[in-house]
Amino acid sequence: MRRRNHALIGVSLAALMAASISALLALNGCTLVPVDKNDNTPPSIVIKVKGPNGQYAPASAASFSAGSGRMDLMCIVSDPDGVQAIQLSFLGNSDSCLVDGGTIVSGSFDILGLPGNLQQSLVPNAQGQVPTELPLLATISSPLTCKVFGNPTQIGAPVGAQFTVQCTGQNWSSNPQVQGASAALTVSVTN
């Protein structure tokens, strides 16, 4: 009986969360439309980076200071026939790692400190409607590091590294060829 109650609570919380997101989007001027399984166009994806003026602007490339940087990102998925899901992922490695004493070690090193994958999926509201636009925000903060395994293992700074922010969005189409789209932001890491 307890297990069934937990399942009901989980379903109730998921439904409440979905309804809350739909209501919030509607209050913020987002258009709600009926789910369209016959949508024949892919969603539009844009990645924006917050500039020094505090405004977000579309970008496909950016730079980031490994030791003292901060980058605020916004990915927006839009589709006039309704949006179903959004995901942000962060992928990258460095060919070199600067460790204590100024030694540069060559190899392939994961960039540590990048956010984990973020995602949001929507369900239609009680009227079967979904928003036409869905944003997802992320912040990348210093320090970004790399790890050189050995005896001893050393933590350093990535040198000449890049990472990719990948944003993927999905609409409600039953056609897999137009159901999803993605955009990428290439970020050069500076020291």
Delineate the domains of the chain, giving CATH numbers in brackets: 2-190 (2.60.40.10)
- CA–CA separation, 162 and 104 (whole Å): 17
3-state secondary structure the chain: CHHHHHHHHHHHHHHHHHHHHHHHHHHCCCCEEECCCCCCCCCEEEEEEECCCCCEEECCEEEEECCCCEEEEEEEEECCCCEEEEEEEEEEEEEEEEEHHHEEEEEEEECECCCCCEEEECCCCCCCEEECEEEEEEEEECCCEEEECCCCCEEEEEECCEEEEEEEEEECCCCCCCCEEEEEEEEEEEC
Q: Is the pLDDT reported for residue 190 higher than 70?
A: yes
pLDDT band at 28 (very low <50, low <70, confident <90, very high): low
pLDDT for 3 equals 43
Phi, psi angle pair for 31, to nearest 5° = -80, 135
Q: Is the pLDDT reported for residue 11 higher than 90?
A: no
Q: What is the CA radius of gyration of the chain?
A: 20
- CA–CA separation, 80 and 33 (whole Å): 8
Q: Which of 3-7, 27-31, 179-183 reaches the highest mean pLDDT?
A: 179-183
- CA–CA separation, 86 and 137 (whole Å): 11
- CA 136, distance to chain mean position in Å, is 6
pLDDT for 152 equals 87
pLDDT in tens, 41-86: 999 999 999 999 999 999 999 999 988 889 999 999 999 999 999 9
pLDDT for 13 equals 42
Q: Which residue has the higher pLDDT, 125 or 151?
A: 125
pTM: 0.81
C-alpha atoms less than 13 angstroms from C-alpha of 98 in its C-beta half-sphere: 12
Q: Indicate the residue type of 11.
A: V
Q: Is the pLDDT reported for residue 34 higher than 60?
A: yes
For 12, 56, 94, 122, 130, the CA distances from 66, given in Å and listed in that order, are 42, 21, 12, 34, 39
